[in-house]
Amino acid sequence: MGSLHVDRVSVEFPAGRHAPVVVALKEVDLKIQPGEFVVALGASGCGKSTLLNLLAGFLSPSQGQIKLNDAVVSGPGADRAVVFQKHALLPWLNVIDNVAFGLKLRGMGKSARYDTARKHLVHLGLGAFETHPVYQLSGGMQQRVGIARALASDPEILLMDEPLGALDALTREKAQELIIRIWKDTSKMVFFITHSVEEALFMGTRLIVMSPRPGRITHTFDLDFGRRFLAGADARTVKASPDFIKMREQVLKIIFGDEEAAGGDHV
Amino acid sequence: MSDSKEPASKSFLDSIFKIRPTRPGEVYGVPGQGDSLMISAISGIAIIGFWALATSMGWIKPLFLPSPVAIFQKFIQVATEGFANYTLLEHTWISVLRVFGALALACATAIPVGLAMGMSRVMRGVFDPPIEFYRPVPPLAYLPLMIVWFGIGELSKVLLIFLAIFAPVAIGTRSGVRSAAIEQVHAAYSLGATPWQVLTQIILPAALPEIITATRIGMGVGWTTLVAAEMVAATSGIGFMVLSASQFLQTSTVIMGIFIIAAIAYAFDLLMRFLERKLVPWKGFA
Ligand SMILES: Nc1ncnc2c1ncn2[C@@H]1O[C@H](COP(=O)(O)OP(=O)(O)O)[C@@H](O)[C@H]1O
Ligand SMILES: [Mg+2]
């Protein structure tokens, strides 16, 4: 079981013709331990996606480095699977071929990769949809296919950038419960970005709150609400408990403070 | 802006633009809604009916416009007895072969060139000037040059049609390269794909809808070019048949040929639409 280490990483986007230099991340330190579910919250533009792109290997740091199991990350790879908000499935493949896509890229034979893909589809409640075209599925089901695809290549860490942002409220809560169950069953590391404070508190074992200009981690909280749910408590009961609400307001206050300092109402 | 004047023209425009509360099944503010199939059928029948009336009443001489029945009889006659050494089916078949040969050649070259142009700055720089130079030139303008270079046989005709199809297919493919969402490309790389795998398994299938549309446009251009080329330099083919019939003032053969040219063009388009539904059923969804 590996761990992920972000070591004093800074990212500067150079000045464009109409834009000044943006320090998207400044000296960010973050360690994700085996089995941890780290959630990132923060005002728009505080560098959450930039951090995820670094972990995925789509972007290289201006300073510092990122290590997975002591090996420096230098590009994208199958040990770090990404789940996007949308548009990342391949509509020319059916459900099972989407899930098996990463295995096919590796040259795995058809029956072996279908076996693996099928296992993950069943796990995500999509067992009956193997041969469906993905573009006919609902948003929630598409997102589950995306998660199954990420899991199928058996990565060390799942990187998720607002994966539930496009779902309606009810589907979203169901998906949250599914994801923490999957996380518990697979005990993979997870790095999860969200805009919803409630989602963050419910799902993570650790919350990092980020601030913009320059992007950095300003607060860290250890969480155990998800574990209460996994231990058998009802999800809404957990989310309505007094300590959950207290923490939610505390975190909201931090984020609103950042939004106001940034000049208010731009979204 | 007047509030009370121009009620008549206002309500006419209102009805076109559906600026009035809609009935179920209509959408407020969408112009041109509704099915027009029935009206089209009536329109078509009316035109043929008027044509039949005008010829049977002797308003127009058969030399200028034979009756619909005469054209159908000519169709049967040419289909069975032939025209200028070939039957109608042979003329049609030769024309179709020329177009499909050129289309196959164009797809085999224009799709890789278009992909290369979309993927590489260098390739775009190399191929842009020649394609943009000859693309707006009507193919018949360089047909004489083709004949000088390649003779009057099949090669010059097929090459001419090939060139006519090549440009739209290459340009369509090139712009199709941008159809893949960046998330799809990133997802593939983070699943361990090599650049070649991204090209063949993400970029190419994502570009397929645009490639097919471009091929459909190319097919239309190719057919137009072929018929024109056959009128200039050929001893067979449907375009040749129409032109040489006109020289003998066989108007019924000319009109019959025009109908066949139109029917084949329509059949090509139906075929392409069928292929589109088969090959890219996701088009319009994702
Ligand atoms: N490719 C880029 N070029 C220039 N600036 C960028 C680029 N990507 C992101 N940024 C800037 O970096 C900052 C952080 O962006 P991002 O990580 O997307 O924020 P978040 O995901 O938290 O909303 C923003 O100010 C954004 O404008
Ligand atoms: Mg973002």
Asked if residue A169 is part of any domain, the answer here is: yes
Mean residue pLDDT across chain B: 89
Distance CA B139, CA A261 (A): 64
Q: Does any domain span residue A189?
A: yes
Nearest to B160 by CA among B229, B263, B239: B229
- The mean pLDDT of B94-113, rounded to a whole number, is 94
The H or E element spanning position A101 is helix A101-105
CA–CA gap between residue A81 and residue A99 (Å, rounded): 12
How far apart (Å, rounded) are the C-alpha atoms in residues A148 and B243?
63
Evaluate whether A94 touches A132 at the Cβ level (below 8 Å). Answer: yes
pLDDT at B2 over 50: no
Residue A97 has pLDDT above 90, yes or no: yes
Closest partner CB to A90 (pick from B184, B192, B197): B184
Domains and CATH numbers, chain B: 2-56 (no CATH), 69-279 (1.10.3720.10)
Does some domain include residue A94?
A: no
* Predicted confidence (pLDDT) at residue B188 exceeds the cutoff of 60: yes
Q: How many domains does chain A have?
A: 1
Q: Which residues of B are less than 8 Å from A87 in CB distance?
A: 181, 183-184, 286
Is residue A24 in contact with ligand 1, taking CB distance under 6 Å? yes
Does the beta carbon of A255 sit less than 6 angstroms from any atom of ligand 1? no
Q: Which of B131, B166, B163, B160 is nearest to B146 (CA)?
A: B160
Check if A45 has its Cβ closer than 6 Å to any atom of ligand 1: yes
Alpha carbon nearest to ligand 1 atom 11, residue: A24
Range of the domain at A233: 4-79+155-245+253-261
Please state, in angstroms and rounded to a whole number, the distance separating the CA atoms of residues A244 and A255.
17
Query: Has residue A267 got a pLDDT over 50?
Result: no
Which residues in chain A touch residue B183, judged by CB atoms under 8 angstroms apart? 84-88
- Is A220's pLDDT higher than 60? yes
Which of A9, A18, A46 maximizes ligand 1 atoms within 8 Å of its Cβ, making it the mutation to test the pocket?
A: A46
> For chain A, what is the mean pLDDT?
91
Q: Could you tell me the sign of the dihedral formed by the alpha carbons of B127, B129, B135, B140, in that order?
A: negative
Which residue in chain B is spatially nearest to A154 when comparing CA positions? B191
Q: Does any domain span residue A134?
A: no
Region B161-179: mean pLDDT is: 94
The residue written with tokens 């919350």 in the block is A207
Is the confidence at residue B190, as pLDDT, over 90?
yes
A88 and chain B: CB distance < 8 Å anywhere? yes
Residue type, A188: K
**Interchain contact, B192 vs A153, CB within 8 Å:** yes
Q: In the predicted model, is pLDDT for residue A41 greater than 70? A: yes
Domain assignment of residue A129, yes or no? no
Rounded CA separation B234/B85 (Å): 13
For residue A51, the ligand 1 atom closest to its alpha carbon is 17
Domain presence at residue A127: no
Kindly give the distance from the C-alpha atom of residue B38 to the centroid of ligand 2, in angstroms, as a whole number. Answer: 51
Domain of A204, CATH number, reads 3.40.50.300
Q: Name the closest-CA residue to atom 24, ligand 1.
A: A45
Model pTM score: 0.83
Q: Are B100 and B215 in contact (CB under 8 A)?
A: no
Q: Which residues contact B52 (CB under 8 A, 6 or more apart)?
A: B67, B68, B69
Average pLDDT over every residue of A141-145:
92
In a domain, A56, yes or no: yes
- Please state, in angstroms and rounded to a whole number, the distance separating the CA atoms of residues A66 and A122: 34
- Edge-to-edge strand ranges of the sheet holding A4-13: A22-32, A4-13, A63-68, A71-72
Domain assignment present for A182: yes
Does residue B123 sit in helix, strand or coil? Answer: helix
More confident residue, A18 or B52: B52
pLDDT at residue number A15: 86
Residue contact A76–B205, C-beta within 8 A: no
Instruction: Check residue B1 and give its pLDDT.
Output: 45
Strands A4-13 and A63-68: antiparallel
- Ligand 1 atom 18: residue of nearest CA: A49
Ligand nearest to the CA of A210: 1
B190 → closest Cβ in A56, A89, A136? A56
Cβ–Cβ pairs < 8 A, chains A and B: 74
> Are A91 and B193 an interchain contact pair (Cβ–Cβ within 8 Å)?
no
Average confidence (pLDDT) over B241-254? 91
The interface predicted TM-score (ipTM) is 0.90
